[in-house]
Structure 1
């Protein structure tokens, strides 16, 4: 049994392939062991990217939302509300609403990245009535990692903020989302 029961991945190489990383010497390692090796090597940014892909999409977006709300400067309330609505009820309407709010914002922000993560977490990216078009598998995780990294970068001590984010993400990997 895995230390990360919700993850579908059995080998780190499955996740590093999504990230586009070159082959790793320990890519056959279970994801938790690979993650811990990244952290032990001081590769916290890579550990965030890895965990954002390893977590199920819902849990990954929940992680990003928590980090944006707790670590970033005051996030745009409409963006955070859209993501929170999707997390409470991951319906197509809420997913599309998160995408619409994010698309309407001109400035890059951790909250905007988080809303795009919710939008790309499932369903079609095509407008209503158009043939469905799914986001590539790694898209939501890339937005999640961007949101978490950007939120941490806004803190007075970004390395400490990244470490706190990794601890919170690890808890999600081990226990799943607890609303």
Structure 2
């Protein structure tokens, strides 16, 4: 399987991306010196390492695209039975995607806290909060920037949780579908 060209991934090597999270041993065995992101993702796909592909894509995609992808997967995977707090968290994500202001970023944090970090929607909303700005209160004189990898880690968590949220026996199929949606996002040129 060839994942094809991935214009949205601008990292030169897969190792640059892998330093932002902890790939498992099986994924690391595909990480040859100097391998690019596309051949690395090809290797993960060929071996059916979909959860590893998700973790990689959540770090490799631009944050806005990764958030769009994760939010869509969580909504699509929920079968419309999301609790109100999760719906509110995803609505806050949508508001930030439409208008990426600090107020919307902080509203996503508040919605994430209400939904909870143990929910897919809460994790996506935390991903928005971690996407930039400051982790400290607005009143703090000096910004406390989030670590660059936090958004990707929150989004990967969201997708792992979404894969097992209902009918966990179907998680492998969901993980593959989520990874394929992420690859589609990485292929897009817009």
Q: TM-score, normalised by structure 1?
A: 0.90
CA RMSD of aligned residues (A): 1.9
Partner Cα distance (2:150, 2:33) in 1: 21
Q: Which runs of 5+ in 2 are unaligned?
A: none
Structure 1 moving runs of 4+ over 2 Å: 20-25, 72-75, 104-107
Aligned length: 176
Shift in Å, 1:89: 1.2
Distance 1:136 1:27, change over 3 A: farther
> Which of 161, 175, 186 is 1:162 aligned to?
175
Partner Cα distance (2:50, 2:116) in 1: 29
Shift in Å, 1:20: 3.6
Is 1:51 matched up with 2:51?
no
Partner Cα distance (1:154, 1:20) in 2: 23
Distance 1:17 1:81, change over 3 A: same
Aligned to 1:84: 94
Partner Cα distance (2:17, 2:33) in 1: 9
1:139-167 superposed Cα distances (whole Å, 9 cap, x missing partner) = 00000101111111124311111111111
Shift in Å, 1:88: 1.2
Q: Which runs of 5+ in 1 are unaligned?
A: none
Aligned to 2:158: 147
Query: What pairs with 1:13-24 in structure 2 (closer than 5 Å)?
Result: 13-21=15-23
